[in-house]
Amino acid sequence: MTDPQPEPLGRRELNKARTREAVVTALRDLLAEQPVHKVTVDQVADAAGISRRTFFNYYAGIPAVVSEVIGTHAAHVAGVIGDFSPSASPLQRLRELVATVGIPTDLIEWLALLNLHGFEDDEGAAAFIRTVWAEKGAWLEETLIDRLPDGVDGTYVATLATTIMNCFAAAERAWVTRRRPGAPVDARAIADFHDELDRALSYAQSGWAAPVTGSTAAKGR
């Protein structure tokens, strides 16, 4: 009896992609019913038709799934910043991207879904979202290290990545605060998110030198 031949690489990778897609779809469906920090691995695995063990072969936990989704839709951000030029501000290039191309609608829809059940007075939900943005800051830092020229100061890369992701987090918080839970992510909502993100980036670009009274009051999260 001969040993079974390994699957062709293409099929193996296709199966992996299908499993990841099933997990993401399952999580998205569950988020329509309950807050993200209350969704369990067992629930996602069951809805995706996989075992708990298989889930952990792909993800360390629910935050890792969310982090991957956000990273997939935000990948072009790193590309814009990675087009490094000493004479141009990365934050200015990112603001130009927001103004001309915009942030992917799928990403904005996910942010709305993650906040569908609100976060006020719920430290569990707030902590979950903070964890995701912190993970994406680390991801962006690693991505920029690969894209930027050799020799770029590591502190520059770290502070740039952290600042950008904090701007996204601040824009998300302000945007969600203004929204009615469950409201559609229509053209107006997308434009509002872009406005909040541009405002956050403009503060960072100016060194926070010109604070103004915004549409949302400062509040903790």
Taking CB atoms within 8 Å and a gap of at least 24, the contacts of 145-153 are: 147/78, 147/79, 147/81, 147/82, 147/84, 148/82, 148/84, 149/84, 152/84
C-alpha to C-alpha distance for 30 and 39, rounded to whole angstroms: 7
Q: Residue 137 is which amino acid?
A: G
User: Which residues, other chains included, contact 75 with Cβ-Cβ below 8 Å and sequence gap of 6+?
Assistant: 143
pLDDT of residue 208: 85
Residue 95 buriedness (CB in 10 A; 0-12 / 13-18 / 19+) = buried
Q: What is the pLDDT of residues 139-171, one digit of tens each?
A: 888 888 887 778 888 998 899 888 988 899 899
What is the arithmetic mean of pLDDT over 22-34? 94
pLDDT of residue 179: 87
pLDDT of residue 92: 86
Q: Is the pLDDT of residue 73 over 80?
A: no
Please indicate whether residue 197 or residue 116 has the higher confidence score (pLDDT). 197
Q: What is the pLDDT of residues 82-103, one digit of tens each?
A: 665 556 788 888 888 888 878 8
How many residues are given for the chain?
221
C-alpha to C-alpha distance for 188 and 206, rounded to whole angstroms: 27
Annotated domain spans of the chain: 1-59, 61-221
Burial state string for 5-34 with b = 16 or more CB within 10 A and e = fewer than 16: eeeeeeeeeeeeeebbebbbebbeebbeee
Q: Is the pLDDT of residue 39 over 80?
A: yes
Q: Is the pLDDT of residue 8 over 60?
A: no
Q: How many CA atoms lie within 13 A of 41 on its CB side?
A: 14
CATH architecture under which domain 1-59 falls: Orthogonal Bundle (1.10)
C-alpha to C-alpha distance for 196 and 202, rounded to whole angstroms: 10
Q: Is the pLDDT of residue 221 over 80?
A: no
Rounded to 10 deg, the angle between the 62-82 and 41-48 helix axes is 80
The verdict on pTM exceeding 0.95 is: no
